[in-house]
Structure 1
Amino acid sequence: MIQSSKTRAERTVPSGAIRRLFVLAAVCAAAAAMPLTFTGPAVALPAISRDLGGSPIGLNWVTNAFMLTFGSSLMAAGALADNYGRKRVFLGGLAAFVLFSAALAFSPDLLSFDILRALQGAGAAAAFSGGMASLAQEFDGSARMRAFSIVGASFGIGLAFGPIASGLMIESFGWPSIFLLVLVLGALSFTLGAIFLKESRDPAANGLDWPGAATFTLALTLFTYGVLRVPATGWGDLTTVGLFVGSVGFIAGFCLVERKVRRPMLDLSLFRYPRFVGVQLLAAAPAYAFVVLLILLPVRFVGIEGMSEIGAGRMMIALSAPLLILPIAAGLLTRWFAPAIICGAGLAISASGLCWLAQIPVGADHTALIAPLLTIGVGISLPWGLMDGLAVSVVPKERAGMATGIFSTTRVAGEGVALAIVSAVLSALTQSHLGAKSDATAAAQQLATGDLAGAAATLPDLARPALVEAYGEAFGMLLWLLAAITVITAVVVLVFLGRGEQPVEEAKEGERAAA
């Protein structure tokens, strides 16, 4: 009788393998929701501008507010997960993420929208760090690499179908509807996580490094805001210079804090190891080789070339579709090729796609864009499937939250900073092609945010084709610059990641033994 009851009880509890699959599904649902939060608003930006108004800087914050808080909160969220429980942080972050996503649909003005985007990013950071750290506890070795590759593919699903899904919803129900799919995926992830996740934490953790979190967040905030001001104020503006100086000061303060605290949020000694540095460089690479295009291209297609939101979404599928399959394929390729070779080759392929795209003028037949966009997507998909697994492989398992936080901070903060810098560079290049006109600065900012009608009103003496041509030349130059940076990164990543496969923790143990 006792044996029979025990058997029935065991049947009600999922086996370890089945439970881990549901945990993976929970993290994958959250990962698929994340890209929708920045591809959707990018497609909807012209519509949001028409309804809520706002300046070019305010419209830039539609994307940057999310990226900034997401990127600057990840390390703190990872530390919180290690200290207070990965499941708790994951579910709490998801709840906040879903709540603020729903509130965005009812924003009365652009300022409210930007503030809610910042809060949404903080919730996303907690959900992402808690989820990825939990996943690292469930899988080991090659199984962990495959699990993270599947998460990368899930992220790719959000990237691939987010723009077209957003376009369909915008044209059918208006821009507020773009957050509906985010709510569905977030609710699914929360439900699965609440049921199947096991609570875990770092037994050696002794609280959050609040001074480190504060100084890092302030440094990133000041720097990003300064970059966003540059197109309107120039590099010599005293306020802008003050923001950059303040950012440097807070970074210096952050480094001092991290050297003194017993359990730092970021172990600065890790940067002595080439493989760890290589992983961080790899994390930043997609920012300028791929992610900035997810924002700039929909704005160009809809705002400058007059394409519909649905048409822009279809075009973006060519860029993102490879992420549906190739991250998993990259995980399988590690059986025959070193991760350094796969990642370096992928970045080189992306660079070739950027060069190809740079040669196609704005306004050309859109079918000519499909092949270069696919090339960029194929290239970035190869390192995409390996990055997260590599990140947690270079630190002890119990500090997976820190590893995920550092890596994700580098990636997402890099994306936010790269987007701010690239937007400023695009505006400056456009201004240089408009010539020495009194209102060229304002017109260039409007073109960079897809407001062709506003630029035409600002410079009535220039015909619209001339404005489009100036923007197109600037966009082409920007792509050449991004390609050059991607090639340099590919070489450095190949060299640094190729320096043996010894984990960082083993290297540190070896140093301590030798001492």
Structure 2
Amino acid sequence: MSSSVSKNWLLAAVCLAALGMPLSFTGPAVVLPAIRDALGGSPVQLNWITNAFMLSFGAALLAAGALADAWGRKRVFLLGLIAVTLSCALLTWAPGIVAFDAVRALQGLGSAAAFAAGTAALAQVFDGAARTRAFSLIGTSFGVGLSCGAMLSGWLAQTFGWQAVMLSPGAVCLLALGIAAPAMRESRNPQAQGLDLPGALSFTAALSLLTLGVLQAPDSGWRSPWVIAALAGAALMGAAFVAVERRAVHPMLDLSLFRFPRFVGVQLLAAAPAYGFVVLLVLLPLRFVGLEGRSALEAGGFMFALSGPILVVPTLAAWLAQRYPAGTLSALGLLVCAAGLVWLSRCAPGTPLHAMVWPLLLIGTGIGLPWGLMDGLAVSVVPRERAGMASGIFNTVRVAGEGIALALVGAGLTSLVALQLAHLPGHTAQAASQAAQRLTTGDLPQALALLPGLGREALLHAYGAAFATLLCVLAGVTVLTALAVFSFLRGETPAEKPLGQAQASEPQACA
């Protein structure tokens, strides 16, 4: 097999892996009511269906990148694909919600290994403009998974049941495995020092404790000793991680990179879609299916209006980036996204598709501009031989940011709904809090049972008011992020300074 053909097959395999990963977290959101009916579970346990995957994915990316560089990128890539495929099958056999959540964590570990090793391998075989195009294709593939995932999941759920939704990422990864096993060549960094175990453990512990504390807070209260202990532990583990990485001879995360404004801007850009876009991929299907009573397929149609622009806008962004600075385009996209969030806040539960489609399209279009630029920018911040670390840093910020955003936004929505319900007479604050948790996981019948005497319309009105407030807060955060991204990334266009040249000259400029 010629070198060029081998490169193309490798790119196809990594793009397939990237396509399957968004299916792993958009699918469960569409079928969460069906999973709850089949396996049961408390609101906290149901929230872990998404967060267990996001947490393990985000926490393992740095370690997976380091392992790929030291142990072999092909080996780690194939093992990751195998883990995802097996975990997808195990999900359909889970005897209960706790086992289901545990397998979701395993699925996240496999996804991290496949994604970090696959992108690191691509960085070794593509150079210059070809590398930028390759990473843009990965971003496009990820966007296809996001844009089509909800609709595909809705069709699979309605036709074959929720188990088919769980199997779909495994089917895509199995195809990637069949392509990569014979076509991919092994590569490693001969100077790699292996896994930074203290750094990996402290980082994972910090993320885990933070997520645990935030998810448990709506149920136990923010003043609960367990919640306070979890959040304090997260802060201590985060400080320990920074201390370990500063003293390590070969750190998993090179903290000195944060001295460079362009690097910081790329990381802010990586986190931005989490609270302006990704959280809606989870919250909106729960609202559409669990509370408004729409079918999974109809909910998928709504979600395609939100994520469909990801199929088109990144290509437009790449074309515009030849003429305008990436920072300006990214900031403009985030501002458009914020406008869409404010518009969506005016859409009460039950609003028909023709009225919701425009704000959903606006949000997707806005986020599509930075989406088309992020991956190309990310690979320019470190030398090629540190590609595993570079991939790990960028994708860790992106995925860990999504996991943390989901936990924080979910807890915030629960608190806002509880406040709305507390204003209704005849019910205790505890009952309102418990009903709010049920509403935010799409369990309207249990919420009605907890608040006897209140009708469906009253609960939906309270939920809609809380959701509108949340969207306005998210819009404000997105505007602030747009200003910060513009400040850090302004002043360069790919046409004026190719990524390779920017990489070579930036440290001197920043110094």
TM-score by length of 2: 0.95
Alignment of 1:90-239 (within 5 A): 90-239=77-226
| C-alpha distance in 1 between matches for 2:506 and 2:132 | 21
Q: Which residue of 2 aligns with 1:296?
A: 283
Query: Among the aligned pairs, what percent are the same residue?
Result: 54
Q: Which residue of 1 aligns with 2:268?
A: 281
SS for the counterpart of 2:207 is: helix
| C-alpha distance in 2 between matches for 1:142 and 1:196 | 23
Q: Which residue of 1 aligns with 2:448?
A: 456
Alignment of 1:245-256 (within 5 A): 245-256=232-243
Q: Among residues 374, 390, 396, which one is paired with 1:387 in the alignment?
A: 374
Q: Which amino acid aligns with 1:435?
A: A
1:356 Cα deviation after fit = 0.9
| C-alpha distance in 2 between matches for 1:155 and 1:497 | 23
Alignment of 1:404-419 (within 5 A): 404-419=391-406
Contact 1:201 1:398 in 2 (8 A): no
Q: Which amino acid aligns with 2:90?
A: A
Q: Which residue of 1 aligns with 2:467?
A: 475
Q: Among residues 305, 309, 332, which one is paired with 1:318 in the alignment?
A: 305
Mean Cα deviation higher: 258-267 or 190-199: 190-199
In the alignment, structure 1 segments of 5+ residues that lack a partner are: 1-12
String of CA shifts for 1:15-63, please: whole Å, max 9, x gaps.
x333222111111100110011111100010000011111000000010
Q: Among residues 240, 257, 263, which one is paired with 1:270 in the alignment?
A: 257
SS for the counterpart of 1:363 is: coil
Distance 1:342 1:145, change over 3 A: farther
Q: Which amino acid aligns with 2:442?
A: G
Is 1:498 paired with 2:485?
no
| C-alpha distance in 2 between matches for 1:329 and 1:194 | 34
Q: Which residue of 1 aligns with 2:341?
A: 354
Q: Which residue of 2 aligns with 1:73?
A: 60
Is 1:485 paired with 2:477?
yes
SS for the counterpart of 1:395 is: coil
Contact 2:325 2:491 in 1 (8 A): no
1:83 Cα deviation after fit = 1.4
Corresponding pairs, count: 499
Contact 1:68 1:221 in 2 (8 A): yes
Q: Which amino acid aligns with 1:370?
A: V
SS for the counterpart of 1:393 is: coil
1:369 Cα deviation after fit = 0.7
1:81 Cα deviation after fit = 1.1
Contact 1:275 1:499 in 2 (8 A): no
Mean Cα deviation higher: 418-427 or 491-500: 491-500
Q: Which residue of 1 aligns with 2:331?
A: 344
1:138 Cα deviation after fit = 2.1
In the alignment, structure 2 segments of 5+ residues that lack a partner are: none
1:367 Cα deviation after fit = 1.7
String of CA shifts for 1:440-487, please: whole Å, max 9, x gaps.
000000000011111000001211100000000000010001111111
1:308 Cα deviation after fit = 0.5
Q: Which residue of 2 aligns with 1:466?
A: 458
Mean Cα deviation higher: 26-35 or 198-207: 198-207
1:339 Cα deviation after fit = 1.4
1:507 Cα deviation after fit = 4.3
Contact 1:358 1:476 in 2 (8 A): yes
Mean Cα deviation higher: 414-423 or 337-346: 337-346
1:503 Cα deviation after fit = 4.2
| C-alpha distance in 1 between matches for 2:491 and 2:264 | 11
1:506 Cα deviation after fit = 4.2
Mean Cα deviation higher: 59-68 or 366-375: 366-375
| C-alpha distance in 2 between matches for 1:21 and 1:222 | 41
